[in-house]
Amino acid sequence: MREIASPSCFADDASALDTLARRSDNSSDKDLQRAEGSCRIVLGSSERGTRVMDVYQKSPIRVLFPRTSGSRVEEAVLVNTSGGVAGGDRLQTDVVAMEHASIAVTTQAAEKVYRALKESAHVLTTLKVRDTARLAWLPQETIVFNRARLTRETRIEITSGSELLALEWLMLGRTAHGEKLSAGTVTDHWRIVKDGRLVWADSFRITDEVVPHLCRKALLSDCTAIATLVYFGSELDARLELVRDLAPSLACHCAVTLVGGLVVARFAARTSYDLRTALRNVLQQFGNGLAHGPFQVPRMWSC
């Protein structure tokens, strides 16, 4: 079993990590125990609704299907039993939705990316939405601790007739603890392919040299919580106008556009609370009028 250190070990002045780094010029996260977890979920349909066709999980990732309305499968919850992500860890999630499947995939809690010595943590998410399936990828936030190193990639494949709502959001530093980033590396890639053709690619990158300048207006302007929300489906214009109408009332910066046949919305706030509140408002509006469906605030967000 992987040993988990106490939260105090990850404080900004963590002397244990500093001591380890000074012992040898070659000290690296590779010298420490690393996690390599993965999961795969394949979903189809049946007369009773969405059907789980295949599930694979490798520690420390676990997959749960809580059911609150009889036998209907409406939500999948991913759990990282290691308690967070450290430098050198590798986590991979694959979700395939086919044949009228309709499901939201979320996480049990916010993911935490701890301070690293040299190696980046690698997180890869692959989503495939086929035929007339509907998939909402709505994880809770990823909290990047000071001096953390993260490389994250979200790869999405969609086909005509399918519907997708995908969210990724970052909290830069533990603002509730008064922590601000003084160094760190974050690389966040998106790649979306429709019917075999790349329609949108996006990369966000922070390096040690950039961190001191994030307060500039041309960068994040003191915002520490950021999110990207992408929608693909048959109601592009309506969804675009919905978010545009909501934007002035949100307690954060918000901009939305239509590009490559996708609605892409950006959010930036100075606190995680403001961003979470804004995203809840948007998701509630997405789900209005739908008795069942994945485009709503996940139940796990309220637990």
pLDDT of 235: 86
Contacts of residue 13, Cβ cutoff 8 Å, sequence gap at least 6: none
Longest dimension (CA), the chain: 62
Pairing of strands 197-206, 185-194: antiparallel
Q: Are 128 and 157 in contact (CB under 8 A)?
A: yes
On whether residue 106 sits in a domain, the answer given is yes
If 0-12 CB within 10 Å is exposed, 13-18 middle and 19+ buried, where does residue 60 land?
buried
Q: Are 110 and 146 in contact (CB under 8 A)?
A: no
Closest CA to 103 of 131, 79, 76: 76
On whether residue 162 sits in a domain, the answer given is yes
pTM above 0.85, yes or no: yes
Asked whether residue 265 carries a pLDDT value surpassing 60, the answer given is: yes
On whether residue 80 sits in a domain, the answer given is yes
Count of alpha carbons within 13 angstroms of residue 303, beta-carbon side: 11
Question: What's the whole-number mean pLDDT along residues 240-255?
Answer: 95
Question: What's the whole-number mean pLDDT along residues 3-15?
Answer: 41
Sign of CA dihedral 75, 260, 274, 115: positive
Residue-number span of the structural domain to which 205 is assigned: 30-231
On whether residue 69 sits in a domain, the answer given is yes
If 0-12 CB within 10 Å is exposed, 13-18 middle and 19+ buried, where does residue 302 land?
exposed
Distance CA 126, CA 134 (A): 15
Radius of gyration for the chain, computed over Cα atoms and rounded to the nearest angstrom: 19
pLDDT tens, position by position, 185-215: 999 999 999 999 999 999 999 999 999 999 9
Question: What's the whole-number mean pLDDT along residues 93-107?
Answer: 95
On whether residue 98 sits in a domain, the answer given is yes
pLDDT tens, position by position, 113-145: 999 988 999 999 999 999 899 999 999 999 999
On whether residue 169 sits in a domain, the answer given is yes
Question: What's the whole-number mean pLDDT along residues 59-87?
Answer: 88
Q: Are 78 and 109 in contact (CB under 8 A)?
A: no
Task: Describe the crossing of helices 236-246 and 272-287 by its angle, rounded to 10 degrees.
Answer: 140
pLDDT confidence band for 71 (50 / 70 / 90): low
Total domains, the chain: 1
On whether residue 61 sits in a domain, the answer given is yes
Percent of the chain past pLDDT 90, that is, above it, reads 74
Contacts of residue 109, Cβ cutoff 8 Å, sequence gap at least 6: 140
Mean residue pLDDT of the chain comes to 88
Task: Write the single-letter amino acid at 118.
Answer: K
HEC secondary structure over 55-93? EEEECCEEEECCCCCCCCCCEEEEEECCCCECCCCEEEE
| Total Cβ atoms within 10 A of residue 197 | 8
pLDDT of 69: 62
On whether residue 244 sits in a domain, the answer given is no
